Amino acid sequence: MTRLEKFLPLHGIKVQHAFSYENPYYPIPPIKDNRLKDIIEQSYTNTRIYVFIPAEPYELHAFLEDLDEKGLLDDGDYIVVAIFFKIFDESNRDGLIKGVYYPAEGPDGISQRIRYMHNVLMLFYTSAMSPDFNGFKIEAKAYLSEPPFNFDSGLLEELGYPIEITEDAAYLYDAVMLYAKALNQTLSEGGSITNGTDIISNILDKTYQSITGVNRIIDKDGDTIANVSVFSIQRNSSSDIDYVIDPVAIFQERNGTTVYAAHKGVDIQWLGGSPPRAQPVCGFDGSLCKTNYTIHIVAGVIAGIIMLTAIIATIVYRNWRYEQALASLLWKIDYNELEFKSICHGSRLSIATHDSRVSMYADPLSGRGQVFTRVGRYNHTLVAIKPVHKKHIEMSRCLRKELKVMRDMCHPNLCQFIGACPDPPNICILTEYCTRGSLQDILENDDIKLDEMFIASLVSDIVKGMRHLHSTEIRTHGNLKSSNCVVDSRWVLKITDFGLVHFKVGQQPPDMGEHAYYQDLLWKAPEVWEPQGTQKGDVYSFGIILYEIAHRQGPFGNCELSPKEIYEKVKTLGETIPLRPNVMEIENGHECLLTVMQECWVEDPEARPDFKTIANKLKPLHKGMKSDILDNMVMIMEKYANNLEEIVEDRTQQLVEEKKKTENLLHRMLPKPVANQLKRGMQVVPESFDCVTIFFSDIVGFTKLSSMSTPFQVVDLLNDLYTLFDDIISYYNVYKVETIGDAYMLVSGLPIRNDNRHAAEIGSTALHLIDEVQKFKIRHRPDDTLKLRVGIHSGPVVTGVVGLTMPRYCLFGDTVNTSSRMESNGEALKIHCSAECKAILDEVGGYDVPERGIVAMKGKGSLLTYWLVDQDPSYKRFKPRSEDVEEAVEDTDSLSEKHKMKKSPGKSYLRTPLGSTYMAPSTSTPNTGMKSSRSVQDISSSNLREDAQLRRDSDVVTRRRNSDISRTELPKNGKNGYTLLPMDCDDSLPCSKSEEVEIRTTDFGDGSGDCSSQARSVSACSLNRCEVVGEEATMNGAVSQRSRNNSQGSKTKTKKNSTTDSGIGSNGNSSRDCNMHNEIFL
């Protein structure tokens, strides 16, 4: 449709409308679609020719029916051009009239369809015109039965389904022939068969004759210009309905021009006898014909008379309504309808005389407190009652008009007029009651503090009220003063006691005394004598009120003159300096406020600004604030609420950050799953692991190096070294258990199982640490190189959290002992590997593990061990990894399942990302260089008998690796050894009742034997650290430590005033250089 809209204007055809509708379309009642009818309704007034592109012929019939229903097909003024994008079916010549999917109903329906079709021209693609085309179809059918198609059509023809060769086959034939001719021409011109550009150039912009007998043109863009035939209804007696659809003309291309060629002897049977006009004679809107405007002029005059009559009638009606309102006396109130309670009499400056001053009490009808005005209840509403001291009221038209104006007046800053009682002796005026009292009451009350927001709001209310009052029929106030400005419960100031000049004229107020009388006149402008006053006089009074608000000392402040003297001086015009309030007495007044008040009380009334100008000049007073005081208070509360939300959000964020810090610290102390269990208040039950790999390392010659360094240098050395180690292990899936002195312990395969990857992770970590430690530079001894000694072993362990105070995640089992022995029997800058670990590494592959030979180990006998010397270079990592999850994560609650030791068949496990949060670092402090107070356990506390019988004088030996054993009393057996009797073991742990537990100590230093010669002391060589322990001292915190050493290093006080040596011996040697570890061997 879009292309047709663009194409038709190029040929001088104006498109008035373009519509489209979506399929399906339902023409049959009762679900008949009205979309086509809506299109006709919108377009028939300025359209004569419809170009219709139906999807199916029945849509054309539905469209014609809707046109006929509108009466557009009766005289042949409208025509429909239907375009079908297909070839006309010769076998269906009368089917387009009868209808297939939407057939005509009976003979009448057929007759109606025939009448419709006289208004229709149909366009179809031109069918085959060559007599040779039938021979082409026969040959094409014959080729179908030959290879490679081998299609036998005989069976289908026997069943009554003959095979028809459509014109689509001719199009394919034309395409092949056109390509073949272009190829031959290209080859004859010396071109190549692979040159598509030359072949296409010989096809474009050519004319050829199709096998159908129609001349076709391919334009320069490669598009074939279609041949179109025109069809219309024709009389034909061979049809049972006497009419068929036949071609009447054809559109052909001749010399680049499309030509309409009518068929000889065939004419279009127009309904009106001739083709319809594309546009009416006078145009669609009649603008092409001259119009007689006489009728229009007469109609306009009549309409004007009617309108004028209506306006006059409206005015008369409104005047009548106005007079009715004046006569209705809606403002009149019966005095007997007012309800009163006991009312206290107030001062003589109350509204009972001239003012509208009210008290500061919320409910004056309750009889509590002082009330300055008479208050009553009318129609259940509190009203202020102002008496008018007159004997009678003359109800003139002017008075009625005045009272109606007052009743109709409504403004938020003007006190609402309720009504009046004109019946003597109770003549009075009823107005809205404001509970906060008058502005004068507020200004004279020192307990009420007015800040800038209150002052700005009160001043703004007066300005808005007076500005509106001056724009009404009343025009002026005449008695503006602070006592006539009342404040309601919402702190909105309202102006009262205005208007009703005729109602109050002639009243005789009671004598109030000279002082009060002149005090009441201090707001009057000097030129005002009439009761109704002037607008400029109101501006003067407003200036005096501004002074009252700013100074809060009355209209003339601290003036020593009496009210009468002030009044007389103000009234005396022509003086050099007129008497005005002293502005110098105002201390903290706003600059614009001071400027405006002085402009308001200038002597020349014409020089005074009006209230519109005053409002503009006082805008700086409201900067950053709203005009209404309640809105300001709400705004302040909103700001406070928003600020409070920000504060709460900030505090919450800080709390979240602190919680994260606490959790991170906890995850450094314990593995994350274990920490989560403890946070939920759940007990962490010991868990068994079938196979893990443990890493032990120490520094060869650390004792000698320490003896040549200060304690602080030792601390810096260990801190730098362990910081490097901690960074490297974050690249691998290992868990740092602890550091003790120069010893470093890692484990892989727990608390999250990683199948058999634990040995590979420990092996790669060890090789990485060996490489890096050779590059490590000691701050105070840059020429020295540290020599790391590493031992690794794989086997089963049991884990658990021991203790309540400073709980530690500990490992138990012989695997810990064997790993320590592998390290102590190793060599510098080498990785000593057990046979169990080697087997797993071989299973993983990529590691070079040559045999070392048989090595005798204390408590283990002779073992075949290996060296781990190299690995696949791709195994080495240089940054923390974040692998995809390949194995399912065991639930955190599995830590409480004591007997969950083996991986179930078919169950997948998680390979944790290297350096992930599951591998929580140890709580040991590497930058202190001191030994941890807790360590990895190798056996359960139940495996030792705490009350062993003392055979000889015993010393208390404390093991660093058993956090639950506080003291073990040992019978001495030789100079450097102690032996324990056989003890009972828990069945859940890998030990036997018949096995003997042995603790040994080894010579060190200069070979003299004991770590120290102190009496009643036992030397314990523990994890590359030889320590002297006193009689009643422990190393795990169960009993306070007491060590006696002659060291010169730094010392730390314990609970019993004992000291713990920092590791530097008195003879310049370290307190240990042990060749064997202090262990309990099972």
Give 483 or 97, the one with higher predicted confidence.
Answer: 483
**Per-residue pLDDT tens digits for 346-395:** 333 333 333 333 333 334 443 333 345 789 999 888 999 999 988 888 88
**Given this model, what pLDDT does residue 138 score?**
83
Report d(CA 544, CA 537) in Å as an integer: 11
Q: At residue 793, does pLDDT exceed 90? A: yes
The SS3 of residue 136 is helix
Intervals of CATH 1.10.510.10 along the chain: 335-627
Q: At residue 327, does pLDDT exceed 80? A: no
Q: At residue 921, does pLDDT exceed 50? A: no
**Given this model, what pLDDT does residue 882 score?**
56
Report d(CA 458, CA 552) in Å as an integer: 14
CATH code for 1-126+227-291? 3.40.50.2300
**Given this model, what pLDDT does residue 446 score?**
87
Output the pTM of the full model: 0.39
**Per-residue pLDDT tens digits for 934-949:** 333 333 333 323 333 3
**Given this model, what pLDDT does residue 838 score?**
92
Two structure tokens written together for 376: 């009553």
Domain 686-938 is found in CATH 3.30.70.1230: yes
**Given this model, what pLDDT does residue 807 score?**
78
**Per-residue pLDDT tens digits for 510-555:** 888 888 888 988 999 988 877 678 999 999 999 999 999 999 999 9
Kindly compute the dihedral angle of the four CA atoms of residues 844, 849, 850, 853, in this order, to the nearest 10 degrees.
-100
**Given this model, what pLDDT does residue 795 score?**
94
**Given this model, what pLDDT does residue 803 score?**
75
Residue whose C-alpha is closest to residue 769's, from 751, 744, 735: 744
Q: At residue 1016, does pLDDT exceed 70? A: no
Contacts of 437 (CB under 8 A, 6+ apart): 357, 358, 359, 360, 372, 486, 487
Q: What is the 3-state secondary structure (H, E, C) of 589-619?
A: CCHHHHHHHHHHCCCCHHHCCCHHHHHHHCH
Cα→Cα distances 1051→510, 660, 716, Å: 102, 35, 17
The SS3 of residue 661 is helix
Report d(CA 917, CA 217) in Å as an integer: 76
Phi, psi of 85 (to 5 degrees): -90, 60
Report d(CA 675, CA 669) in Å as an integer: 8
The SS3 of residue 473 is coil
Strands (E), 353-435: 374-378, 381-387, 417-421, 428-432
Two structure tokens written together for 521: 């006149």
Superfamily in which the 335-627 domain is placed by CATH: Transferase(Phosphotransferase) domain 1 (1.10.510.10)
Contacts of 247 (CB under 8 A, 6+ apart): 88, 229, 230, 231, 263, 266
DSSP 154-204: HHHHHTT------HHHHHHHHHHHHHHHHHHHHHHTT--TT-HHHHHHTTT
Intervals of CATH 3.40.50.2300 along the chain: 1-126+227-291
Instruction: Please compute the mean of the pLDDT values over residues 132-159 and round it to a whole number.
Output: 81
Q: How confident is the model at residue 575 (pLDDT cuts 50, 70, 90)?
A: low
Q: What is residue 116's DSSP assignment?
A: H
**Given this model, what pLDDT does residue 372 score?**
59
Mean pLDDT value across the chain:
75
Phi, psi of 981 (to 5 degrees): -70, 160
Instruction: Please compute the mean of the pLDDT values over residues 561-586 and round it to a whole number.
Output: 85
Residue 527, classified by CB atoms within 10 Å of its CB into exposed (0-12), middle (13-18) or buried (19+), is middle
Q: At residue 20, does pLDDT exceed 90? A: no
Q: At residue 1003, does pLDDT exceed 80? A: no
Q: What is residue 657's DSSP assignment?
A: H
Exposure string over 179-192, b if 16+ CB within 10 A, otherwise e:
eeebbeebeeeebe
Residue whose C-alpha is closest to residue 944's, from 923, 975, 978, 970: 970
Q: At residue 991, does pLDDT exceed 90? A: no
